[in-house]
Amino acid sequence: MKIKEMPWFNRPGARLKRKGPSSLSDAELLAIVLGRGDKNENAIDQANRVLATQNLDKLSNLSLIELEQEFKNPVKALKIQAMFELFRRTNRLNRKGFKTQIKTAEDVYNHFVDTVKDKNKEHFYALLLDTKNRIIEEQLISMGILDASPYTQGKSSTQQSKPAADQSSWSIIIPAAIANQAMQIKK
């Protein structure tokens, strides 16, 4: 079956837009990178065929010639090799400490502005930082309404700080979305 013959709401690209990348399988994400299949198989079938013999870790270590043999297409092999090289470079930057560092409330605002600008409900986030105020993780704690959040009602401060303890963070920033302020709580 060609992807064009699939119902539009089941196509990988449409599901990626609606539900985000975590809702797609490895094969569907790989199919999006591939773009299209060939006359014998669609991009999803092609990705499934390759992933049946090569998991993503093995695929990332294949040479360009080996990728061409797997995908039977030099352009697709180039796309896959470029994708994995971008992953390596991103990981290298993160390992060397080139993460977003939070120094002021404006830094917090700039970090979240694009995330929350179109939300119609209050989103309660925790921004977990290391000892150098670099972001370890951003966690969505809860979604509420404009004047209340189910997370904060009736919970102790110990329960509210559990995500930070799980990640061994040095500090937590909890942005107040309505007032555009941030409060930093030191351990």
| Phi, psi of 79, deg, nearest 5 | -60, -45
Largest CA distance in the chain: 60
* Fold observed for domain 105-186: Cytidine Deaminase; domain 2 (3.40.140)
The whole-number pLDDT of residue 13 equals 82
The whole-number pLDDT of residue 179 equals 32
Closest by Cα among 80, 83, 4 to 42: 4
| Axis crossing angle, helix 26-34 with helix 12-19, rounded to the nearest 10 | 110
Q: What is the DSSP code string of 132-150?
A: TSBEEEEEEEEE-BTTB-T
Half-sphere exposure of 53 (CA within 13 A, CB side): 9
- Average pLDDT per 10 consecutive residues for the chain, totaling 187 residues: 71 85 89 87 90 88 90 92 86 64 84 69 82 85 65 49 62 62 35
The whole-number pLDDT of residue 77 equals 92
Q: Which residues contact 41 (CB under 8 A, 6 or more apart)?
A: 49
The distance of Cα 167 from the centroid of its chain, to the nearest Å, equals 17
Polymer length of the chain: 187
Find residue 173's DSSP bridge partners: 127, 184
The whole-number pLDDT of residue 124 equals 79
The whole-number pLDDT of residue 18 equals 87
